[in-house]
A and B are shown apart, each in its own frame.
Chain A
Amino acid sequence: MLKSLRTKIFSSFMLLVLMLVIAGIMSIIEFNKVGVSIKNVMDDNYKSIEQTKQMLDALEREDSGLLMYLMGNREMGSQTINTAYSAIQDAIKIAQNNITEKDEDKYINNIIKKYEEFHTSVKQTTDTSEQLTLEEKNEIYLQNQQLFFSAKKAINELMQLNQEGVYKQTNTMKENSKRAMMPAIVSIVAAIVFALLLNFFISEYFIRPINRLIDGVKSFYPEKGIINSGIKSNDEIKRLETETNNLIGRLLRLKNK
């Protein structure tokens, strides 16, 4: 137990400061986590979703290129197919370097496999289309459509995976931001309780003894000899009572001389 009043008051305020400082640090740490979650959403999941959109766009362009080629616009069709192929390859490379979700690599490998099947079929069609009749071209195009939808489905699955990732990250962000606020909320309540307690202790250990001392001085008469205000603590107020009694003793001795 601390004895000096100064130490008691200083320790109380230091505890309050410590509580608030720690709450601040905890909030900063939690807000930092929110920042990391935002970065994850923006940099990782959003980038992956963008690449899947590029893939879908390129895949549809390749399909249009094939249609153009079969309709007789061979040069334009061939050019569109080649451009779409490069775009898809670029998007796949970026997606491969941006794995953020569990099993995302398996989804990308599935896209590569399905797309290769589609692209190989497109190439075979363009290579042999000169000898085909209109009905045969129509039939081959319909077969390519199956592979086209299969590749499209694989890309959509990757997009869905990343969208779910965004949803999860957003939820995490929501939870983290709530958690970041919590130390502050709890500290406000604790600080109020702390202030009430401090007020009680100050009144109990400082104000009341001083009032007792005042009452003791007021009701003092020389025959009583000393002031006994019933202070039990061993602090400055007790010392004040002792010194007051010493002073009274000295004054009484002086008077008796």
Chain B
Amino acid sequence: MRVSVIAKYLGFVLLFNALLMYISAVISIFLRETSITPLLYSAILCTIVGVFPQIFVEKTEELKPHEGIAISVLGWILTCIVGSIPYFMWGGEFTLTNAIFESTAGYTTTGSTILTNIEMLPKGLLFWRSATHFIGGMGIILFVLLILPNAKAARTSIYRSEVSGLSMLNFQMRMREIVRIIGIVYASLILAETIILWALGMTFFDAICHSFGTLATGGFSTKNTSIAFYNNIWIEITISFFMLLGGMHFGLIYATITGRKQNLFTSDVVKTYLAIIFIGILFISFKLVNDHVYNWGEAFRHASFQVVSLVTTSGFATVDTSVWPMFTIVVLIYFSIQCAMIGSTTGGLKFDRVYLFFQTFLKQIKQTKHPNAVYVLKMDKTLISNEIELQSMVYIIVYLVILLISTLALSAMDIDLITSFSGSVATLGTIGPGFGKTIGSMGNFSTLPDAAKYIFSTNMLLGRLEIMNVIVLLVSLTDKNK
């Protein structure tokens, strides 16, 4: 593995982070806030350290696959660390652990927070917090690929390590084109949502921050009570709609807009995904009405928002779900594990894999009945190779094993089961809030021990990097025959 080449690409990652830090610093300078020095100095530091490898390392187009994986994994880890510098330097509630937690929650678009009073943060720092969602939503590495000139082969290698094979099914075009499409769809949706939220009465600042949080399916809000602060059904509908879009395959959104044959309306996966969400909303609404928590209108409104928020791994809240009946919590936990579609900005297990799992299950039943028959798996008329099928099954198992290990480790710290389990689900699935009084939709992670925060941060990174890349990198580093 060529360390110097990896350092060169990590330098680009730092430079891209610096760009958004400068923008946040400008907001702070304009408003004469206390976050000028933390943001400006962090930006300058990132620029200097980012430029440094460019002085030495020659331009490289060829990258080996494990170098691509190393750039992807180390890029994310480095980004989470440098992203914590502005928080740590600003102080307040941000200790080093808290700063790293908040930064990781931002970049991985988890949206969990350690802040008890978000509104006291300077605007520049609030913008930086939301900007980490913006960067993380599309993926810092993809951003770098988008702006990196003349990388060709290197671009392909890095892209393959950043995006799973399954998510490439709906992209039948060249790598450069795919990255460009993701960028265009992402930026256009953010712009559209910002304008709508602004028109609905949010300030422009809040509108852009919430748009970053929505399309990146992150969930950082500029208000202590999240979306409940606005108590505006139109804002809730808008955010729900864009959360749903953020949870869809960007290739399919692009195909729908450009009028291609295979699009959101013709996809069986999308139809099943939406149908399951609708059934979930109905179940929760019925239970809420039956238990006299809300009337039908209120129940449907809050159930819809919460289900969409959790299934798309956003984590915005309009109510405190910790007071809801246990049945509704169980349904919400299912959606927190299932999550949204591959090829979107969401994290977690992803619906496509769950869909594939059930198809494989049915295939196995048929195969047992007719051992000599040949069955093939298809998703949206695309043939699924045995390799992808196996990758998905392994991923599901590894995901559940990590979930179990994380819950066990947290329980060992005397953290109650609901917090340990739901926290692990919420962070591994990059959702944000868990369940229960402590880390519920209106709670935060501030009171948990530092060790627990590091476990949660690791979960977030594993969830965002889709686990396997991290394992491959670790194996590459320890393999003597590499």
Chain A complexes with chain B: yes
A residues in contact (CB < 8 Å) with B:
1-2, 8, 11-12, 15, 18-19, 22-23, 26, 29-30, 175-176, 178-179, 182-183, 186-187, 190, 193-194, 197-198, 200-201, 204-205, 232-233
Known: A19-B44, A193-B49. 14 other contacts (CB 8 A): A1-B59, A12-B55, A19-B48, A23-B41, A26-B40, A175-B34, A179-B89, A183-B37, A183-B89, A194-B49, A204-B3, A204-B4, A204-B56, A205-B4
Q: Within 8 Å of chain A (Cβ to Cβ): is B12?
A: no
Q: Do A22 and B41 touch (CB < 8 A)?
A: yes
A57 smallest CB distance to B (angstroms):
38
Which chain B residues lie closer than 8 Å to A23 at the CB level? 41
B52 within 8 A of A: yes
Question: At the interface, yes or no: B45 with Cβ under 8 Å from chain A?
Answer: yes
Given A19-B44, A186-B85, A200-B3, A179-B55 contact (CB < 8 Å): no
Instruction: Say whether A197 contacts B53, CB under 8 Å.
Output: yes
Quick one: which of B65-123 are within 8 Å of A by CB? 85, 88-92
Contact A18–B38 (Cβ < 8 Å): no
Closest to A175 in B: B91
10 A-B pairs in the complex with CB atoms less than 8 angstroms apart: A1-B54, A2-B55, A26-B41, A179-B38, A182-B38, A186-B41, A186-B88, A194-B49, A201-B4, A201-B56
Contacts of A11 in B (CB 8 A): 55
Size class of the B contact interface (CB-based, 8 Å): 20 to 34
Cβ-closest chain A residue relative to B92: A175
**Given contacts A178-B91, A186-B85, A186-B89, A15 and B51 within 8 Å (CB-CB):** yes
B37 touches A30 (CB 8 A): yes
User: Could you give, for residues 8-47 of chain B, a 1 whenever the CB lies within 8 Å of some chain A CB and a 0 otherwise?
Assistant: 0000000000000000000000000010011011101100
A8 touches which of B37, B49, B55, B91 (Cβ 8 Å): B55
Instruction: Given A175-B34, A175-B92, verify A19-B56 contact (CB < 8 Å).
Output: no
- Asked if residues A197 and B37 are in contact (CB atoms below 8 Å), the reply is no
Nearest-CB residue, chain B, relative to A174: B91
User: Do A1 and B55 form a contact, CB below 8 Å, given A30-B37, A179-B89?
Assistant: yes
Bound CA–CA A12/B54 (angstroms): 10
Q: Which residue of B is nearest A8, CB measured?
A: B55
Instruction: Assess whether B89 is in contact with A182, with CB atoms less than 8 Å apart.
Output: yes
B40 closest partner in A (C-beta): A26
Tell me if B89 and A197 are in contact (CB < 8 A).
Answer: no
Given known contacts A1-B57, A26-B37, A201-B56, A190 and B49 CB-to-CB distance under 8 angstroms = yes
Min CB distance A204 to B, Å, is: 6
**Min distance, Cβ A91 to any Cβ of chain B, angstroms:** 34
Q: How far is the CB of B170 from chain A (nearest CB, A)?
A: 38
Q: With a CB–CB cut-off of 8 A, which chain A residues contact B479? A: none
